[in-house]
Structure 1
Amino acid sequence: MKTVTLIRGEHKGEEIMVVNFDFDKTIEDHLIGFPNLKRNSSSGKFYLKNTAKNLGLLFHHLRKIRCYVDYSELSQKQVETPVKRKRLFLPPIDSFHKKDLIRFRRWLEEKRLSPHTVNTYVEVTHFFVRYSILKKSKNYSRDLVESFNYDFIVCEGKSVSYQNQCINGIKKYFLFKGMDIGALDLIRPKKEKKLPVVLSKAEVRSLMDVTHNVKHRTLLSLVYSGGLRIGEAIQLKVDDIDSKRMLIHIRGGKGKKDRYTLLSQSFLETLRQYYRQYQPKVYLFEGQNSATYSTSSAQWVLRNAVLRAGIRKEVSLHTLRHSFATHLLENGTDIRYIQELLGHSSPKTTMIYTHVTENSIKNISNPFDDL
């Protein structure tokens, strides 16, 4: 049996699979004309986009001429990704469940959960209830949750984080309904342990330099210089800035905890310029049609700055917070102080920054240098 090996490659920034085999006229003739298959003009190798669908089609195509297809060198993640099925359409919710979800929202608000968490839990529960209507199920069983998880989350290619949010929301809904969630044994999947993306100080400076709007530059500078979450930044009030003690008072942060963080002397000059120009009354950053600036507007500001600065990393507003913590650690700040500034409950959360600091990596001697 002839062997064809599929090797992972890249062409013009796109992941491809290269079809590798010892020259054989039968295989070559059989491959010519295969949909979307291209050929490198210099090497003569066949290749196509690396997707689960293409892999399946090519596999069956080569099996027609009794070829053994070795795809072990392809990305395991790509091989295991299921082919996306036909989109799942959920029926509209009925009046009974609509009223039930309104009561569920009020119940969550009474628990004093954050508005963002309440909206997320109600949204995912709304999808789950519509799914139960689709399945004509009157009982909220573990099987129904697992079926919803597979059809609505796994097959739709949604993230592990979103899957956890769905399970958390459904658990809260079951508690609201007075159901024994312990008996259902709903388990959340483990998150991938990814290191945070961190910008260098030069990259942070370039973001500020290309942001000419005073309000936008002040917002980005605040998030970085104080290590704030974006929700904390847009909820900040004018009175929370303590320029005498050079501190910023964060009220009701994550976990409903108050804390203080640093007020940079350099940032204070930018802040005063912003205040003179915009004259905010209550909240430091006020929206055009709302009391506070919106998160989506803040995200747009950052995206625009990243494009202008030519930064190719996957940057979010939280990246500025990660960068603040990492730069403090690189400057020799005790990790316990960083934990307090960030508002982390556990030092384990803060310890992740020890894995991305430039100093700790630079101090390691590379064995290649000793050859």
Structure 2
Amino acid sequence: MVNIALSPLFHKNNHIIAISFKFDFAIKEYIKSVEGVKWSKTHKTFYIVHTVSNKQKLYQALRFKDWYVDYSALSSAKANIPKAQTKTLSIKLPYLEDSQQNNLEKFKKWMQQKRLSINTVNSYFEVTSFFLRYAQLKQQPITVRLVEQFNYDFIVRPNKSISYQNQCINGIKKYLDYIGTPLLSFDIERPKKPKKLPEVLSSDDVKNILDNIINLKHKTLLTLIYSAGLRIGEALKIRISDIDSKRMVIHIKSAKGNKDRYTLLSLKFLELLRLYYKTYKPKDYLFEGQNGGLYSTSSAQNILKKAAKKSNIKKPITLHTLRHSFATHLLENGTDIRYIQTLLGHSSPKTTMIYTHVSETSIRNIKNPFDNL
């Protein structure tokens, strides 16, 4: 397994995270592709400025590759984190005893056997590790009270997101399930996420973005995400055999919730795809990295960011905005909400109904009472 070590450094009057690994060209190219990562000639290491958002971005990129990440040096380096950038904790967690560490590794394998996604396994493994180290520090058995204390010290006090808080609770509950502890006695209430409407681009904005991408591979990838309404992870895992040009559908396999589905294959996209295939000749995955394997999520996000800037789009957008726009444009064109739910792979129609709140067509058709005065 690839081992990545993260450690704190001070470089050019900045607190940074140094990224160390045994040299491998493919690893080096992937690390370089992460947004914000730079090379230090002074320290002979890759690094990223030490902020909360950068750290989360780096963790996400490394988890995607399912590499082992040693960040113990960061956890114990309170003095090296700028107070203006993040709220640090005064608690220094002990290392797990060998027996607990071995049990934690077995927990990870147990989750993998349950066929949980790589991201879910890594997230639950990480939060459970923190929780068990916290329990070892407090020298207390696992109780609701201990979980509540952990929740306050490591989530509420540092003002971490509601999504992360729910993730932690889910991870701890999954561990309790693994060790056979009755979950009924651990009925911990999850905080509700704020209900925010998604950012949506107009059809003209999407066209401008795609027109401003010159690289054929980049254009094909972003066009696929929009024209099929895909999550970025789904787009990057598509294989050549998943494209069915006879039925004009794309087979999305083992998507969120480990579910398969079919979505639309655009005729215009198919023309672009054939040109891309003749040029790049991918062997397995439709979009492969420079040295084979999956293409980088962060690279795809950078492509969109640059194209949006060229298109003079000011609103904050991500790759998921293209998926939101696909769904909204279908709704505005009169597509039944149930079909949209199927194409997006939503389990509940409530998730899909959010697009009725951002559809311009439905809003424009409402007569404003002021106009009747």
Name the TM-score class by shorter chain: 0.7 to 0.9
**Which residue pairs with 1:298 in the alignment?**
300
**Which residue pairs with 2:364 in the alignment?**
362
Give the one of 143, 156, 159 matched to 2:158.
Answer: 156
How far is 1:287 from its partner? 1.5
8 Å Cα contact 1:90-1:130 kept in structure 2 = yes
Matching of residue 102 in structure 1 with residue 105 in structure 2: yes
8 Å Cα contact 1:246-1:262 kept in structure 2 = yes
**Which residue pairs with 1:170 in the alignment?**
172
Matching of residue 122 in structure 1 with residue 128 in structure 2: no
Question: How many matched pairs?
Answer: 288
8 Å Cα contact 1:88-1:152 kept in structure 2 = no
Give distance in 1, aligned partners of 2:231 and 2:277. Answer: 21
Q: Deviations 1:249-300 (Å, cap 9, x if unpaired)?
A: 1112222222111111111122112111111011101122442113222222
Distance 1:300 1:136, change over 3 A: farther
Q: Which structure 2 residues correspond to residues 317-336 of structure 1 after superposition, within 5 A?
A: 317-336=319-338
How far is 1:355 from its partner? 0.9
Distance 1:206 1:179, change over 3 A: same
Q: Secondary structure at the match of 1:261?
A: strand
Q: Deviations 1:71-94 (Å, cap 9, x if unpaired)?
A: xxxxxxxxxxxx956555433333
8 Å Cα contact 2:288-2:295 kept in structure 1 = yes
Matching of residue 341 in structure 1 with residue 343 in structure 2: yes
Q: Secondary structure at the match of 1:190?
A: coil
Q: Which structure 2 residues correspond to residues 270-289 of structure 1 after superposition, within 5 A?
A: 270-289=272-291
Q: Secondary structure at the match of 1:179?
A: coil
Gapped regions of structure 1 (runs ≥ 5): 1-82
Q: Which structure 2 residues correspond to residues 150-299 of structure 1 after superposition, within 5 A?
A: 150-299=152-301
Deviates more, 1:89-98 or 1:345-354: 89-98
Give distance in 2, aligned partners of 1:331 and 1:185. Answer: 44
8 Å Cα contact 2:250-2:263 kept in structure 1 = yes
Which AA in structure 1 matches 2:262? Y
Give distance in 2, aligned partners of 1:215 and 1:88. Answer: 47
8 Å Cα contact 1:299-1:317 kept in structure 2 = yes
Distance 1:124 1:306, change over 3 A: farther
Distance 1:259 1:106, change over 3 A: same
**Which residue pairs with 2:12 in the alignment?**
none
Q: Secondary structure at the match of 1:344?
A: coil
Q: Secondary structure at the match of 1:121?
A: helix
Distance 1:201 1:89, change over 3 A: farther
Deviates more, 1:109-118 or 1:310-319: 310-319
Q: Which structure 2 residues correspond to residues 45-84 of structure 1 after superposition, within 5 A?
A: none
Distance 1:93 1:294, change over 3 A: farther
Give distance in 1, aligned partners of 2:202 and 2:154. Answer: 39
Please give the root-mean-square deviation of Cα atoms over the aligned residues, in Å. Answer: 1.7
Task: Report runs of 4+ in structure 1 exceeding 4 Å deviation.
Answer: 83-88
How far is 1:168 from its partner? 0.3
Distance 1:97 1:297, change over 3 A: farther
How far is 1:160 from its partner? 0.8
Gapped regions of structure 2 (runs ≥ 5): 1-85
